[in-house]
Amino acid sequence: MNEQALRENLDEVRTELDGKAYVYSTSIWKDRRIYLNLVGANRTFAGDRNLRVFFDEKIGWVYEGFKGTMSTAHTSSFDAFFAEYQPIRR
């Protein structure tokens, strides 16, 4: 896939995510990945700080750093995201 097509695909995925109630914000990193911030993240909880969720064109949806206690609101957002996209754990 050429760079322009990849960027357009990432933009489409980002637009879709921006309409989700559990998504706080999205950012495209180096035209390769979309990083996702979920609603309810509380930086005082280690689980909320460590969790990274992203979309990579080659891998699909991935989450990593799933350790520590997560806030209830952040857990609810992650559960809603997980139910819809079934990311792989890395």
Beta strands 88-89 and 52-56 are unpaired
Using a pLDDT cut of 70, give the percent of the chain over it. 97
What integer pLDDT is reported at residue 1 of this predicted model? 56
The residues near 81 (Cβ < 8 Å, ≥ 6 apart) are 20, 22, 23, 36, 38, 53, 87
pLDDT 10s digits, 2-33 = 677 777 889 999 999 988 999 999 999 998 99
Query: How many CB atoms neighbour CB 86 within 10 A?
Result: 9
* Interatomic CA distance for residues 40 and 70, integer angstroms: 10
Q: What is the pTM of this model?
A: 0.84
List beta partners, residue 27: 35
